Structure formats: C-alpha cells, structure tokens
A and B are shown apart, each in its own frame.
Chain A
C-alpha cells in the first residue's frame, strides 16, 4: 500500500484521491511519450542512398586495384 501520509502530516481526503492514480498516470504518460519518440525517430531514420552507391564504387575500385597488385581473391 502506498504511504500517502508521512507521520505527522494528514492530507485532506480530496488530495489523497487525486494522488492515488498518479503512478498509473505517470506510467501511461511515459508510455505515450515513448511511443511518440520512437515513432518519430523511426520516421526520421535516414536512408543513405549515396553511401550505398559510393560503397559499390569503392568495392570495384578496390578489387581492380588489389588484383593489379597481385591479390588472388
């Protein structure tokens, strides 16, 4: 059980009623925040097209150069 009344302090009933669902609210709020954040980051996750193209070019250049230098793949 949650201790809502530290010794010596007596909260009036309405406060206690308001405070009781607080953990659940916080959890739900955090859940919504998480979903929104992850969703946003997922949507803005960069796709690097040029990097992929560049990599392919590097691979061909590498294979040609290395073959010239005697590498047997």
Chain B
C-alpha cells in the first residue's frame, strides 16, 4: 500500500434469497460510508437466488453506480467460503468487511476501533459491552451461550464471540487466513479467528446489536447444531 493513500473498504455480501434484505443493507452501508467520508465498494455475490435477488442488485447498481456496487454472481449455491474467495478477487479495497446480508448495525464503530488499535481484525461481539440481541427466546439464548462457553473452554480463542456475523479484516490478513482455513459453514468463521490468533494477528472487538431477522427465516436447525459440535471438536483437535 503506497504511503498516504486513503483507506478503501470492500464489503463482501454473499446472498441467497435476500431480495427483501438486500436494499436495506446496501442503503445502510452506503449511508454509513458517506457519513464517515470513507471510500467504499459493495461486492454482491449472489448464488443464483430464485427469488430475484440478482434483479434487485442490478437496480441498486444503477442507483449507486457500478463503481460502488459490484455484481459478481455465481450460477448456483456454492457456499460461503468460496463466495468470499470469489469476492476478494474483485475487491480493490485494503480493508474487507464480511457480514450477513441481514444485519448492518453500527458499521461506523468498526472503522473507529480499527484506527484506535490499528488492529488486523475487528470482530463484532454480542456478548460484551452493550452488545446483545433482540427477539431471542430463552432457548435460543441458552444455546448461544452454551455453545460459546464450550468454544471458549476448548479453543481459548481470545475473542468473545466467534460466530457473530460481522468482521472487518485487512485485505492481506484475510487472504492469508483464507489459504489456511478448511472448515465449512459456522465453523469456518470460528476457524478464521483461531488461526488468526495462532498467526499472531491482533483482534479488536466492538459490541454489536444482533436484531433478529426482519425478513426471512433464520437458518439455524438441528443439523446446524450437530455440524457445529463436530466442527468445534475438529478445531480443538487440529489447532
């Protein structure tokens, strides 16, 4: 990175059936970046959503400009990990933001935190400070806290929330981590943080409010829990 060149943030948004959420997310991101004066781009990686997500994305591209909204779709559902790799190839920023298409609260706090501590990674946490959730019943909270407790005991990751949906990475850091990580799904996010700690990268945390999905259904089911446990044990054994 040339000395004195300003920061640019590339937001990677993998989408699958996010026709309702996508305009809101893009609008919030665009507004936040405009208000903070940062240079940005939003890379939308749609995996052939049948609900017309790509069509909405095209409209957004017309509204915000093709230098701000980059469409890099794929033919079918190919998974999160490969979506990030695919997105990164087209990212021209020196910082990469990874997030779910259904939440973009308080994005600006991330930039401040990064500047504050010059961190390699800034991660959102629901468990610290005034972070938290909205619309969760007791059972869901219990599962979340229980899973997180298990994760902390087994992996000692140095971050309080491993499966939160919001992260900011330096581009080179993310590239390095993507090379090393092998897991899928939830566990992939966890593995990134564990590997980051191993490689000595610095991680800052920002409290985030996770408001339950406004539109659409949550993708957490019995299968997810089983694969989470399997993944956790694999990470424990291999890292």
On A, residues with C-beta under 8 Å from B are 34, 37-38, 41-42, 45-49, 51-52, 54-55, 58-59, 61-63, 65-66, 69-73
Q: How many residues of B sit at the interface, in one of the four size bands?
A: 20 to 34
Q: Are A47 and B132 in contact (CB under 8 A)?
A: yes
On B, residues with C-beta under 8 Å from A are 23-24, 27-28, 56, 59-60, 62-63, 105, 126-127, 130-136, 138, 141-142, 144-146, 148-149, 153, 209-211, 214
A30 smallest CB distance to B (angstroms): 9
Closest 7 CB pairs of A and B: A46-B132, A51-B209, A48-B209, A62-B27, A52-B134, A48-B132, A41-B145
Given A34-B149, A58-B28, A66-B63: A46 touches B130 (CB 8 Å cut-off): yes
Q: Are A47 and B134 in contact (CB under 8 A)?
A: yes
Q: Name the one of A45, A59, A73 contacting B145, with C-beta atoms under 8 angstroms.
A: A45
Q: Are B211 and A48 in contact (CB under 8 A)?
A: yes
The number of residue pairs between A and B whose CB atoms lie closer than 8 Å in the complex comes to: 80
Can you sample 10 A-B contacts with CB below 8 Å? Answer: A41-B145, A45-B132, A45-B145, A48-B130, A48-B132, A58-B24, A59-B214, A61-B27, A66-B27, A71-B63
Given A34-B149, A58-B24, A66-B23: A42 touches B142 (CB 8 Å cut-off): yes
Q: Are B24 and A62 in contact (CB under 8 A)?
A: yes
Residues from chain B with Cβ under 8 Å of A70 in the complex: 59, 62-63
The chain B residue sitting closest to A41, CB to CB, is B145
Q: Are B133 and A48 in contact (CB under 8 A)?
A: yes
A12 smallest CB distance to B (angstroms): 35
